[in-house]
Structure 1
Amino acid sequence: MASLKVMDLRQLNHLIAVAEHGSFSSAARSLHTVQSNVSNHVAKLEKELGTTLLDRRTMQPTPEGQAVIGRARKIRAEIKAISDDLHTINEEVEGQVQIGCIGVTARWIITPLLEKLGASFPSLQPRLVDGNTNSLTQKILSGDLDLAIINAPAMNASLESETLFEEERVIIAPIDHPLAEYDSITVDELPNYEMMMTSQGTIFRDSLDEELSSAGVEIKITAEIDGLRLLASLAFQGHTPAILPASAAYGYPDSGWALTRINGLRKRPVSLIRNKRITPSLPSRATNEVIHEVVKEIGPDQPGIEVKI
């Protein structure tokens, strides 16, 4: 049985860095140290545990390495939480909080969130990460994020998930397009128009395809765009109508485009998730509360959004 007498946090952090950056040299640069220091720490950890953690040919973690890295990330997150909590005892909330958010929701929620966090907790240091639902979920599971706002409820047993709001899927069309004449159309009318869509393999597109297929509806797709924000930008520039989440309409000038609702489609849930296997720090808990406040205050004013908290 492996002894744990010598294993320390530096060894674990060096192992994580190699896994994240793909080589000893890149890990060393990220840690502001020399390559030999990183390789020595990893080698000592392997000797202490009595197993190989990195395949030196591919620099990928072995199955044993993946198990250790998963635990190490949780330990790192807990150490950070301890540090943040100690800073806040008998003082104001301070320290870092890592927040992830899908792009179209970030358009209307991030600015008021930062303003409210700054006013309530001036010593708090938020770090924001943009990404899609899949990438943000993985960062929550690895302990790299404290909180994340994603599309759809998280189904992983390690995650705590709460639906913040539900939003309609709408059509954004150029003002001179025939669709601009209608406040809403039915699902059955969608085949009458050509549309841009986000790429297959995304949660937004795949869930929409599944729902349309169940209804026996097939859309004429003129282009597939990789990313909802780019799709929204093209739609608002008047390229071609596009199906988007309602929050994508936030922040664009009111002229030159029209929003048409689609009757008969389910609303898209947007949820706040965290890793329930990691005890949340005080900065994380404070940020969670402020996110709720922002959604409750501003959400009802967003077109096509129904607040659920």
Structure 2
Amino acid sequence: MTLTELRYIVTLAQEQHFGRAADRCNVSQPTLSIAVKKLEEELDTTLFERSKTRVSPTPIGEQVVEQAQRVIEQASTIRDIANSGKDQLTSPFHIGAIFTIGPYLFPRLIPELQKVAKDMPLYIEESYTASLRKRIRHGDLDAIIIALPFTEADVVTQSLYDENFVILMDKDHPLSKETSIHPDQLNDYNVLLLGEGHCFRDQVIEACPNLKPSLDDPRGKIRTAAEGSSLETLKYMVASGLGITILPESAAKADHTWSDLLVTRSFTAPIPTRTIALAWRASFPRHQAIDAVREAIDHSGIVS
């Protein structure tokens, strides 16, 4: 058996679909299917139950996949140890960020990183927290930038900065006359939120619990029907007159395209905030690279 085959079965167990697993592994579906079948023949056991709609590990398959995951993580540690003997600021650095951070931080981070580590190219990935969690564990990413709280075994997390939430609205919106807004004042307006899976959506609802849809409110007093796929999409919808939205301050400041149409307002105290953090495996040996990324973020001016 090979590490590649082990990665195939781990990915297949996660996706429970040959097509999606093949896409994640950047191979054709037949290639992945043949490799899995070959491994099953080598082990003389069935690892997956196959049906027309899904693929799921057998009881013995679950044990094999769990052990395969450990092997992959240990192999990643071996690579890290080998790389530690090289110049830590010349090898590529693989970094991921959640969707509500990456588009606003990376344009500021990269120029600053060029000043302190000009020979360290970045491979950049944006995804959900759950996906980045798996990628850092598997060794596919060297570090990730996420919003707290975040805990993962054998992963070090360090806070980078805090940023306030702000309310974005049309300049003629009734709430634009306010200097600051209490969450309860949003109750009578259509508030546009990100879709399920975004941690920022959960943080907004935690800060403004009245925005959470309720089965006990059939009249729909709190309307959150429109769910955008990105913060930029929410901006477009606000500009077109569909409602108001809540953004992290970095996203609100990032684009002046709509400056003549839209305004932001702060919340009343206590102002909702989020803490952004850098996370990396405790075994990752390129400490200078981590320090360089952290220093570049400190000097990026992402928050004022």
TM-score by length of 1: 0.75
Provide the C-alpha distance between the structure 2 equivalents of 1:29 and 1:171, rounded to a whole number of angstroms. Answer: 40
**Which residue of 2 is the match for residue 228 of structure 1?**
231
Amino acid in the other structure paired with 2:47: L
What pairs up with 1:237-252 in 2 under 5 angstroms?
Answer: 238-252=241-255
Provide the C-alpha distance between the structure 2 equivalents of 1:166 and 1:44, rounded to a whole number of angstroms. Answer: 52
Once the two structures are aligned, what percentage of the paired residues are identical?
A: 22
**Which residue of 1 is the match for residue 274 of structure 2?**
268
The alpha-carbon distance between structure 1 residues 191 and 281, as it changes in their structure 2 partners (threshold 3 A), is same
Amino acid in the other structure paired with 2:208: L
Q: Deviations over 1:16-48 (max 9, x none)?
A: 1344365599499739x967983586358636x
**Which residue of 2 is the match for residue 257 of structure 1?**
262
The alpha-carbon distance between structure 1 residues 108 and 78, as it changes in their structure 2 partners (threshold 3 A), is same
Contact 1:199-1:224 at 8 Å conserved across structures: yes
The partner residue of 1:154 within 150, 158, 161 is 150
**Which residue of 2 is the match for residue 136 of structure 1?**
132
Q: How many equivalent residue pairs? A: 281
What pairs up with 1:290-301 in 2 under 5 angstroms?
Answer: 290-299=292-301
What pairs up with 1:98-137 in 2 under 5 angstroms?
Answer: 98-137=94-133
The alpha-carbon distance between structure 1 residues 39 and 126, as it changes in their structure 2 partners (threshold 3 A), is same
Quote how far apart the aligned CAs of 1:274 are.
1.9
Q: Deviations over 1:59-88 (max 9, x none)?
A: 544212221221122123223313422332
Q: Does 1:20 align with 2:11?
A: yes
Contact 1:170-1:259 at 8 Å conserved across structures: yes
Q: Does 1:187 align with 2:183?
A: yes
Contact 2:161-2:275 at 8 Å conserved across structures: yes
Structure 1 unaligned segments of length 5 or more: list them: 1-6, 304-309
Taking only aligned residues, the RMSD between alpha carbons, in angstroms, comes to 3.5
Quote how far apart the aligned CAs of 1:172 are.
0.7
Structure 2 unaligned segments of length 5 or more: list them: 214-220
Deviation larger for 165-174 or 18-27 = 18-27
Contact 2:193-2:234 at 8 Å conserved across structures: yes
Instruction: State the SS of the aligned residue for 1:207.
Output: helix
Deviation larger for 176-185 or 239-248 = 176-185
Instruction: State the SS of the aligned residue for 2:209.
Output: helix
The alpha-carbon distance between structure 1 residues 187 and 243, as it changes in their structure 2 partners (threshold 3 A), is same
**Which residue of 2 is the match for residue 302 of structure 1?**
303
Quote how far apart the aligned CAs of 1:215 are.
11
Contact 1:117-1:287 at 8 Å conserved across structures: no
Provide the C-alpha distance between the structure 1 equivalents of 2:40 and 2:184, rounded to a whole number of angstroms. Answer: 62
**Which residue of 1 is the match for residue 288 of structure 2?**
286
**Which residue of 1 is the match for residue 63 of structure 2?**
64
Quote how far apart the aligned CAs of 1:209 are.
2.5
Provide the C-alpha distance between the structure 2 equivalents of 1:177 and 1:74, rounded to a whole number of angstroms. Answer: 52
Provide the C-alpha distance between the structure 2 equivalents of 1:274 and 1:40, rounded to a whole number of angstroms. Answer: 34
Provide the C-alpha distance between the structure 1 equivalents of 2:32 and 2:198, rounded to a whole number of angstroms. Answer: 38
The alpha-carbon distance between structure 1 residues 15 and 201, as it changes in their structure 2 partners (threshold 3 A), is closer
Instruction: State the SS of the aligned residue for 2:298.
Output: helix
The alpha-carbon distance between structure 1 residues 39 and 241, as it changes in their structure 2 partners (threshold 3 A), is closer
Amino acid in the other structure paired with 2:260: S
Q: Does 1:177 align with 2:173?
A: yes
TM-score by length of 2: 0.76
What pairs up with 1:207-218 in 2 under 5 angstroms?
Answer: 207-213=203-209
Quote how far apart the aligned CAs of 1:110 are.
0.8
Quote how far apart the aligned CAs of 1:130 are.
0.5
